[in-house]
């Protein structure tokens, strides 16, 4: 068992510094992917990696990759998370896992522990949903899940992702060919805050994730007719806004019909946006989540039908696009067992968890065996400025990450 403790002061200082690399015009700690602040955040993480002794590079998809060579070379254990946030987000989502992984490197070096495996640390580009309808973009690029249709996706201004990427120093052609060779990656681990209330409620210090939720994202476009709000009688309108509003309610009722299922319409836009004009266009973007892949497909079918009906009965046309269709991901059983043993060895209370949040770990799971370690979130709050995890709760998570790496390094040697 390792008796090495993470260093509170440096984690605290780095967390505090990252919190300054944020958009001061937005609430909370906003560092959205494809922004200047996001570039600064990933640069800062890269500088920490270098100071920790890693050889670093940025791949063609903006992922920052650092390597600590092992004794045997060749075989790799990968750790990682993200530094981008949602608009109005918090200081811990993703960041905990990035700083925690870098702390593991420092602790290994300071204690003269040389792993057999190379240790690879990844700060994934663009984990949170961007304006083009994608999330986990960096990990999708690493695992070969992007193509020309990804680059052709547009935001609400009609700009394509291919046009936006160069502002973040990413060449669209290189983006398409930035797959990572996972042949020698024996395991991937992500430390993350829970973002929900279960650990706090149950009094457990460590969550061992068993399954990551499935997520379907949609974008529905409604086209009606622009008219005067005072002179156009209700019976002759083709109000795209009303069709969109009916769709928002359909998302809610479909999600309420499942078990542990969720449905959210997080974005809606009307055009023109004027109080005295009937909307000609409306766009709704939202998602379904849940532990059952077949339910998610059924929810997508039902929503497509409901949005079509909302449009039809108003003389509006509707097009719907499912921009992501990620099945639930069961995590690797032996890795989950190793995390549990590591937490037990360290005397930490633990609980098996379902993750209702999406993670890069879920994408990487297509390529190697994956495990996730959760630490508690105060009041279960996340994706909001109030998101908080006390350092006393973060540090045990880093200890479990280190102990799990040491155990996997021994057991996955051959
Ligand atoms: C990622 O944070 C997600 O669950 O949307
Ligand atoms: Mn998030
Ligand atoms: Mn996250």
Residue after which a domain boundary falls, among 301, 326, 351: 326
Residue after which a domain boundary falls, among 326, 341, 362: 326
Closest CA to 84 of 47, 29, 160, 139: 29
**Does one domain contain both 241 and 367?**
no
Task: Look at residue 3 in the predicted model and tell me its pLDDT.
Answer: 78
Task: Look at residue 73 in the predicted model and tell me its pLDDT.
Answer: 79
Task: Look at residue 414 in the predicted model and tell me its pLDDT.
Answer: 54
Can you tell me which atom of ligand 1 is nearest the CA of 383? 2
How many domains does the structure of the chain reveal? 2
**H-helix or E-strand containing 394?**
helix 391-411
Contact 244, 355 (CB under 8 A): no
**Does one domain contain both 56 and 171?**
yes
**Does one domain contain both 128 and 154?**
yes
Task: Find out whether the peptide bond into 272 is cis, omega within 30 degrees of 0.
Answer: yes
Task: Look at residue 345 in the predicted model and tell me its pLDDT.
Answer: 97
Q: Ligand 1 centre and the CA of 332: distance in Å? A: 21
Q: What is the pLDDT along the chain (414 residues), one digit of tens a residue?
A: 567 999 999 999 999 999 999 999 999 999 999 999 999 999 999 999 999 999 999 999 999 999 999 999 789 999 999 999 999 999 999 999 999 999 999 999 999 999 999 999 999 999 999 999 999 999 999 999 999 999 999 999 999 999 999 999 999 999 999 999 999 999 999 999 999 999 999 999 999 999 999 999 999 999 999 999 999 999 999 999 999 999 999 999 999 999 999 999 999 999 999 999 999 999 999 999 999 999 999 999 999 999 999 999 999 999 999 999 999 999 999 999 999 999 999 999 999 999 999 999 999 999 999 999 999 999 999 999 999 999 999 999 999 999 999 999 999 765
Q: 382 CB contacts (<8 Å, ≥6 apart)?
A: 90, 92, 93, 193, 194, 195, 196, 357
Q: Ligand 2 centre and the CA of 85: distance in Å? A: 6
Six token digits for residue 4: 């090495």
CATH number, domain of 283, equals: 3.30.70.360
Closest CA to 219 of 137, 134, 150, 328: 134
**Does one domain contain both 198 and 230?**
no
DSSP, collapsed to helix, strand or coil, labels residue 180 as: coil
Distance CA 348, CA 198 (A): 16
Task: Look at residue 169 in the predicted model and tell me its pLDDT.
Answer: 97
Residue after which a domain boundary falls, among 292, 310, 326: 326
Q: 403 CB contacts (<8 Å, ≥6 apart)?
A: 1, 2, 342, 343, 345, 346
Distance CA 403, CA 121 (A): 16
Task: Output DSSP code: residue 301.
Answer: H
Distance CA 15, CA 17 (A): 5
Q: Ligand 1 centre and the CA of 158: distance in Å? A: 25
**Does one domain contain both 320 and 332?**
no
Range of the domain at 254: 215-326
Q: Ligand 1: which residues within 6 Å by Cβ?
A: 128, 357-358
Q: Which ligand is nearest to the CA of 85?
A: 2
Residue 190 CB coordination number (10 Å): 31
> What string of DSSP letters covers 18-46?
HTTSS-TTSSSS---TTSHHHHHHHHHHH
Mutate-to-test residue for ligand 1 from 94, 328, 354, 357, highest number of ligand atoms within 8 A of CB: 357
Closest CA to 75 of 236, 211, 178, 186: 186
**Does one domain contain both 202 and 247?**
no
Q: Ligand 3 centre and the CA of 38: distance in Å? A: 14
Task: Look at residue 309 in the predicted model and tell me its pLDDT.
Answer: 98
Task: Look at residue 1 in the predicted model and tell me its pLDDT.
Answer: 57
């Amino acid at each position: 068992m390792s008796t090495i403790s993470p260093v509170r002061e440096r984690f605290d200082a780095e967390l505090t510094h990252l919190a300054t690399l944020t958009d001061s015009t937005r609430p909370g700690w906003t560092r959205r992917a494809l922004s200047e602040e996001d570039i600064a955040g990933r640069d800062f993480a890269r500088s920490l990696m270098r100071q920790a002794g890693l050889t670093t590079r940025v791949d063609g998809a903006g992922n920052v990759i650092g390597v600590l060579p092992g004794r045997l070379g060749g075989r790799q254990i990968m750790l990682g998370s993200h530094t981008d946030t949602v608009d109005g987000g918090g200081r811990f989502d993703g960041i905990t896992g990035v700083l925690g992984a870098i702390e593991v490197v420092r602790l290994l070096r300071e204690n003269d522990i040389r792993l057999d495996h190379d240790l690879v640390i990844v700060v994934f580009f663009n984990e949170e949903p961007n304006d083009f309808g994608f999330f986990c973009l960096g990990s999708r690029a690493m695992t070969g899940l992007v193509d020309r249709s990804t680059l052709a996706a547009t935001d609400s201004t009609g700009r394509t992702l291919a046009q936006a990427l160069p502002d973040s120093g990413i060449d669209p052609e290189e983006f398409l060919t930035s797959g990572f060779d996972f042949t020698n990656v024996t395991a991937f681990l992500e430390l993350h805050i829970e973002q929900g209330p279960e650990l706090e409620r149950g009094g457990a210090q460590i969550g061992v994730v068993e399954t990551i939720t499935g997520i379907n994202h949609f974008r529905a476009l409604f086209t009606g007719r622009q008219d005067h709000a005072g002179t156009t009688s209700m019976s002759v309108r083709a109000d795209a806004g009303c069709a969109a509003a009916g769709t928002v309610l359909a998302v809610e009722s479909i999600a309420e019909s499942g078990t542990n299922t969720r449905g959210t319409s997080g974005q809606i836009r009307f055009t023109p946006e004027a109080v005295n004009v009937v909307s000609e266009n409306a766009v709704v973007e939202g998602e379904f989540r849940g532990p059952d892949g077949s339910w998610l497909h059924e929810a997508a079918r039902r929503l497509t039908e409901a949005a079509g009906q909302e449009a039809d009965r108003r003389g509006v046309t509707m097009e719907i696009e499912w921009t992501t269709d990620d099945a639930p991901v069961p995590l690797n059983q032996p890795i989950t067992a190793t995390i549990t043993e590591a937490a037990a060895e360290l005397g930490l209370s633990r609980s098996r968890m379902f993750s209702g949040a999406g993670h890069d770990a879920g994408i990487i799971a297509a390529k190697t065996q994956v495990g996730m370690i959760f630490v508690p979130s105060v009041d279960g709050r996340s994706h909001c400025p109030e998101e908080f995890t006390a350092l006393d709760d973060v540090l045990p998570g880093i200890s479990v990450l280190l102990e799990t790496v040491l155990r996997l390094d021994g057991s996955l040697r051959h």
